[in-house]
Amino acid sequence: MGSCDEKQYGVTKPISRAGPTVADLQRTKELEKFLVESGLYESEEEAAKRVEVLDRLGQVLKSWVKMLTHRKGYTDQMVEDANAVIFTFGSYRLGVHGPGADLDTLCIGPSYVNREEDFFFALHDILANMEEITELQPIPDAHVPVMKFKFDGISIDLLYASISCLVVRDDLDISDVTILQNIDEPTVRSLNGCRVADQILKLVPNAENFRTTLRCLKFWAKRRGVYSNVTGFLGGVNLALLVARVCQLYPNAAPSMLVSRFFRVYTQWRWPNPVMLCPIEENELGFSVWDPRKNPRDRTHHMPIITPAYPCMNSSYNVSTSTLRVMMEQFQYGNKICGEIELNKAQWTALCEPYAFFESYKNYLQVDIVAANVDDLRAWKGWVESRLRQLTLMIERDTSGKLQCHPYPYEYMDISRQCAHSAFFMGLQRKPGEVVQEGQQFDIRGTVDEFRHSVNMYMFWKPGMDIYVSHVRRRQIPSYVFPEGYKRSRQSRPTSQQDNPHKSSQEDEISGTEQCERNFKRKYFDMPGVKQEIVVKKQFSVPLDSLARSSLSQSSSGLSFDMHNSGQDVMERTKSPESDTECAPNSSVVTSLTSDGGCEDVGSTQMAVSVEDNKVVDGMIGGRFDDTACGIHSVAIAENEDARGNEALQNELQQQMEVLAFNSPNRMPGMVLCSKGSVDSCCAKTDHKEIEPLCNEERGESQ
């Protein structure tokens, strides 16, 4: 039977219908063994406990709704019929959760039980009085309002949706679009977590292959520091959609093949072309869908990954120029390692080696978060973490994209401090290829002040909650961020840039990711013939009173990065008036970033920074949306892997990803992203015949 008779998944024809070879099946077995040995599967006992906790939570929610029904004066029959149902979403619903993972849940209740008072107050009080409930944290002002807590040790994120019916049936079909009638936007977002998860599983050719591939790539993303939607990287939904699209493009591939193809496709994807699993659906309900043609804000999205359930949204709107750059570096790294695995030159462990973040930059921003106690810190930290992405965007904006940030999505704690403490870090570098002008300076003190002001608007602020932003250099990174409390010595600063064999030593300030990985392996792992050098550093310990006095808002100095050739590398410290302890992590220093990658202090002279409130950060993406199409075919990609390989795939992607869409049944116009970054309307310009020869080759391959 020819491939034309096979079911097509997705909005375009597949790249290849080829199935796995014997070698592919062997690599898949090795991959599955690696995932098991890495502890990515929960035990039967934990799985049974999750089911039990879900059942107990469901009973609590039903009792809560019945209590409210009685309290609001409804009839006895209404009280008897009153009901709430609980759904799961996220990794648990997709079947890729691991030990200790959060359990994402949604409670659906009747129209007369609201979120503001009944959920965040009445239910909160019930949960607060239960012995099984700990670490209860309501977040009503989140983009998707949520209540976080632990139920008998199981971490739960609970959402609430009130639908327009008086009685909620146990057999409620959440995929039915009529469930969205007469509800508000936050409720739509709450419902869509479950609806999107169900659609993903329906739109992939093989659910088990999808799960194995996604489990591997989640592990990779966490180890490489690019798994955090709130920070601007990939969250669980984003990654699931990217993996699902690769499954559609290679419908008969085994998991080992899909992991490799994931990196092969996305290293060559021409962002901001969107990733879509199905046509974008319009509906008479009138909710806004992702449409750069109609919504100017959608045109600024750097990495559109569109959800498949109505109303279709961009799940990766948090991605910035800087975080996209970091992810593209990691895609390149993954592509390189997978190529070596296919040649039997590397093992799956190499793909998921931890990223050497604190060895990758010479300059960092350290964000210290403190509170009076652990409970206050949990709430305060959650708020600050949700705003860190804004600091990245502000720095990009105020430096016209010339000072690049790499936010690291993991927190660190200094247990030697008397106060409850948490710290986050951002790597800093000037944009590769920027011409360095004598005396050029990036003063970000105003940027940091603006960020702190926005963070301090927290409506649940309590005394003791504070935040400190400071510049530290690599050698001054506090030792508590390293395993076992020690730091490794380091010679040169690696980060991303194109390989150039003719580079001078001075230009080699910004070296490749590959060099970073080699340095990381030398220092973090015992390798034959390589001696691991460990330098034990004194741990920073900052007293609480000193910390309180070093607030950035009260400091006369600031953060400034100067790009001229510097002399000596000197560090000015702010000391506590009552202690000789140096408070570098919490001091505000004026620092210059020199042309050779070093830095020096240049005093407290401040340069004015021009800020355009509505300026869109310009980065590595050339094209922007002036027009697009909804409910239509997306990017067409084709490849005959056996005959042409990676080089041909690159050429075909370059040509065919310029075509975003074809004519849709509702004849909405499409667009073409030209190689120069301009945008042309293509309502009826593109013909399937342009891609047909490549599809014919695929049919010959599958036959």
Active site residues: 91, 102, 104, 157, 218, 227
Strand order of the sheet with strand 420-430? Answer: 403-412, 420-430, 363-371, 466-473
Phi then psi for residue 280, to 5 deg, are -75, 125
- Is residue 266 within 8 Å of residue 243, measured between CB atoms? no
Angle at 350 between CA 347 and CA 354, to 5 degrees: 155
Cβ-Cβ contacts under 8 Å for 344 (sequence gap 6 or more): none
Residue 182, Cβ neighbours under 10 Å: how many? 10
CA distance 674 to 653: 13
Note every long-range contact of 509-516, with CB atoms under 8 Å and residues 24 or more positions apart, other chains counting. Answer: 509/595, 509/596, 509/597, 510/429, 510/432, 510/597, 513/329, 513/330, 513/332, 513/333, 514/333, 514/336, 516/356, 516/359, 516/360
Q: Which amino acid does the sequence have at 507?
A: E
Cβ-Cβ contacts under 8 Å for 222 (sequence gap 6 or more): none
Query: What are the structure tokens assigned to 178, written together?
Result: 């009529």
Beta bridge partners of 429: 404
CA distance 592 to 556: 17
Q: What is the dihedral of CA 237, 240, 242, 248, to 10 degrees?
A: -140
Of the candidates 112, 107, 150, the one whose C-alpha atom is nearest the C-alpha of residue 131 is 150
CA distance 608 to 605: 10
Q: Which amino acid does the sequence have at 4?
A: C
Compute CA distances 337 → 307, 330, 345, whole Å. 29, 11, 9
Q: Are strands 85-89 and 103-109 parallel, antiparallel or unpaired?
A: antiparallel
